[in-house]
Structure 1
Amino acid sequence: MAAPSHGLTAPLSGKLKNVNFRIGFVELGKKKKRVFVKCCSSGFNGSGICIEKCENWKFDSRKINHSYRVKVQASSSTMPFASPKSRFVSKQEQFFPRCTPRNSGPQSHDAPPKRDTGIANEKEWGIDMSNENINESGTNEDGSTWYRKSGEDIGENGYRCRWTKMGGQSHDGASEWKEMWWEKSDWTGYKELGVEKSGRNAEGDSWLETWQEVIHQDEWSNLARIERSAQKQAKSGTENAGWYENWSEKYDAKGWTEKGAHKYGRLNEQSWWEKWGEQYDGRGSVLKWTDKWAESELGTKWGDKWEERFFGGIGSRQGETWHASPSSERWSRTWGEEHFGNGKVHKYGKSTTGESWDMVVDEKTYYEAEPHYGWADVVGDSSQLFSIQPRELPPGVYPNIDFGSSMPPDDEPPPNR
């Protein structure tokens, strides 16, 4: 048997609309081969330059009459050709292919946002602000039109906003997309990055997505704070379906962190809601909670909620699961835990069917006293936000900071503390 060869043979190449793939073979033995596929999806980086983002997938294969039969091992949800309905490209990309000849107009490089995606960091948005004022438009070979604009707005107290807008529509106006990027700053140290994307397609699907990242100095603690938020919504044009999400994150330089989300969705006869939040004071105290509920058009409702509060191994958990019928009959089960910090936990609960329990058990207490993603992480992911350059401050001019509108009453502590 010949010694295994790990040299890569000349790759095969091909193209599936906006997805380029290259297949290579690694010799593992006389009759065995391992196949890898490098799949590259291409798109514009905001400056009219077509770039590729590549991923490697591994496959099993065997040689059959000088061709190769490929069995996918990766999850189908990660493959660009996973959906038979979309077949290689999203609905929006059917009107706006990702790569066209250089010097053409801007192309839509976004699809309707996915649910439960949270707040992406700035590296995933590909914001590339233009340093020049641009105002241009045109028509593509397929009859679709496009435009691209950029500019700068100046205001009081050193306010500066640099922005870029772009968009387009299909030849018949049935499909349309818009996108706007911006960065803001002033002399108080305030800096902001933002994106807004929206669109609709020929099937009537529509979507809107916004994202913001802000750094400023807290007027009460004088600490630097970073705040991030995202709003995402989409609506189906062919069925009674849609969803909405609002995400928020707040951090300060001493470890105080607050995160939360509010989600809503509907699919034909069912609707659902979800809210959750978590707060860390940076000194070991933590609060977490969630509340979910849903209902059908027939009137059936159900839900689940819980809350936990801990500090130094001492704290509590409590929650409720419930169900209500169209005739207003209601079932619920409530439960609670008291953690004493000495290895003892008091557990109790009851339900509307008569069950109940009340006991003290030996049990270790586990909770997360610090966020898995905190101040150091968000600072590391916010290099573009920090790099925003404010207008030059003239000699003898000082920032005008107005505390009047946000001053709390004398009997109340500063907010978020």
Structure 2
Amino acid sequence: MAASSRGFSTPFCLKPRRFDSSPLHHHHRGFEFRKSRNRRRFLDFRCCSDSVVPIRRTTGSGKSAEKKAEEWRFDPKKSPHRVRIQATPALPFGSTQSQFVSKQEKFYPRCTPRNSGPQSRDTPPKRDTGIANEKDWGIDLLNENGNESGTNEDGSTWYRESGEDLGENGYRCRWTRMGGQSHDGSSEWKEMWWEKSDWTGYKELGVEKSGRNAEGDSWWETWQEVLHQDEWSNLARIERSAQKQAKSGTENAGWFEKWWEKYDAKGWTEKGAHKYGRLNEQSWWEKWGEHYDGRGSVLKWTDKWAETELGTKWGDKWEEKFFAGIGSRQGETWHLSPSGDRWSRTWGEEHFGNGKVHKYGKSTTGESWDIVVDEETYYEADPHYGWADVVGDSSQLLSINPRERPPGVYPSNFGSTPPPPDDVPPDM
């Protein structure tokens, strides 16, 4: 679920295209490791100028919002540069089964023994892909505990282990981990899958993967899905989270993402993401969040900014709050030059719920507006992906069988909430 699901295009002028890693263009917004004829390829996001004036928006979530990306316009008389805003499409989250097909399996599938060990997983995760559903991870825990290892025909080695850990309060964790490395040790990969449960009704499904290739590119990602009872409302809640990162072995480049989604049985929903990236002289950040209280109140916000080592900085942020057709939107677009000159434009909208909208704003170049227009207010009071959807996509999580609880024994920490994941990306 990418950030575009909030119904807004990126506030920066980004026009993605492919280019080889050498030579590097001066302005890049993100990158992705890929193998193509022994050359890495990056995603090049060309950053344009700022100075954009938002006009009427169509907000909302879901597929309809993706089709109705936020509209923008520019005023060549008031803006220092011509600006073109283009929404960046979300990158699909492919199945891990298709991503991790080795060369041996691809070209010689009939020569690979059926009972051989796991093949090499030498593909890093993709950027801006959100939280995958459990079916895309293909979590398959072995029913029997055991250890095995072996050597493939190309000299690469592998291992696979599985087991079960037991603890207090009915805690049980079933896990399987595997890994391997090339014959010369220049590349390696590790994976671990698990499911957890206890007598409080807590259930967890998770995956962690990491790897390194011969070029020195490294990556790490984890995904978790949790079912528990909220300690305040006593409602069933499902929480999903994902963290991903990748680093280049030859460039000063890397990226990190953290995504989370929380749902309860009465429609309360919270979603958000934190992202960071760097490509040589330029760094960028992004944070966004959505909150639905299940009774019609909605809060959405986004904050994005970037900078170069030369001192140029630019960014965009906005926030909206609505309930029963009444609410407000406000935001700011800004730019800071290396010499310290700062340009900014602030804007706001007040929606009264009666077809009237008060629009106002100003910029450091002297422009301003303050008008009331007749305009129908539209917003989504419910997330396009909610409780019923996440329950339908969490069949493996819900099917986890906890240990049998002895008669007369009760959970000691009933309704406890798991701690939130750490914000700090490891080794970034």
TM-score norm. by structure 1 comes to 0.74
Secondary structure, counterpart of 1:347 in structure 2: strand
Deviations 1:183-213 (A, max 9, x none): 0000000000000000000000000010000
Separation (CA, whole Å) in 2 of partners of 1:366 and 1:180? 45
Q: In the alignment, does 2:255 pair up with 1:239?
A: no
1:384 partner letter = Q
Distance 1:237 1:405, change over 3 A: closer
1:396 corresponds to = 408
1:279 corresponds to = 291
Deviations 1:302-361 (A, max 9, x none): 000000000000000000000001121111000000000000000000001111110111
Distance 1:274 1:280, change over 3 A: same
1:220-259 to 2 correspondences below 5 Å: 220-259=232-271
TM-aligned CA deviation for residue 245 of structure 1: 0.1
2:331 corresponds to = 319
Distance 1:275 1:197, change over 3 A: same
**Is contact 1:92-1:175 (8 Å) kept?**
no
2:75 corresponds to = none
Distance 1:190 1:131, change over 3 A: same
Larger Rg: 1
Which ranges of 4 or more aligned residues in structure 1 deviate by more than 3 Å? 81-87, 90-99, 402-406
Secondary structure, counterpart of 1:113 in structure 2: coil
2:227 corresponds to = 215
TM-score norm. by structure 2 comes to 0.72
Distance 1:330 1:318, change over 3 A: same
Q: In the alignment, does 2:143 pair up with 1:143?
A: no
TM-aligned CA deviation for residue 142 of structure 1: 1.4
TM-aligned CA deviation for residue 108 of structure 1: 3.1
Distance 1:397 1:155, change over 3 A: same
Secondary structure, counterpart of 1:231 in structure 2: strand
**Is contact 2:234-2:415 (8 Å) kept?**
no
Q: In the alignment, does 2:164 pair up with 1:152?
A: yes
**Is contact 1:182-1:194 (8 Å) kept?**
yes
1:320 partner letter = E
TM-aligned CA deviation for residue 405 of structure 1: 9.7
Deviations 1:141-162 (A, max 9, x none): 2111100000000000000000
Deviations 1:237-274 (A, max 9, x none): 12111100000000000000000000001111111100
2:380 corresponds to = 368
Deviations 1:55-83 (A, max 9, x none): xxxxxxxxxxxxxxxxxxxxxxxxxx995
2:87 corresponds to = none
**Is contact 1:334-1:350 (8 Å) kept?**
yes
Match for residue 186 of structure 2 among 161, 174, 183: 174
1:38 corresponds to = none
Separation (CA, whole Å) in 2 of partners of 1:92 and 1:121? 17
Distance 1:367 1:403, change over 3 A: closer
Deviations 1:204-238 (A, max 9, x none): 00000100000001111110000000000000112
2:118 partner letter = P
Separation (CA, whole Å) in 2 of partners of 1:404 and 1:382? 21
Identical positions, percent: 85
Unaligned runs of 5+ in 2: 1-33, 41-97, 419-428
Q: In the alignment, does 2:196 pair up with 1:184?
A: yes
Match for residue 289 of structure 1 among 282, 301, 307: 301
Distance 1:363 1:110, change over 3 A: farther
Match for residue 111 of structure 1 among 116, 120, 123: 123
Q: In the alignment, does 2:398 pair up with 1:386?
A: yes
How many residues matched?
Answer: 324
Separation (CA, whole Å) in 2 of partners of 1:224 and 1:318? 34
Match for residue 165 of structure 1 among 177, 202, 220: 177
1:335 corresponds to = 347
2:362 corresponds to = 350
Q: In the alignment, does 2:389 pair up with 1:377?
A: yes
1:64 corresponds to = none
Separation (CA, whole Å) in 2 of partners of 1:130 and 1:309? 48
TM-aligned CA deviation for residue 84 of structure 1: 5.2
Higher relative contact order (CA 8 A, sep 6+): 2
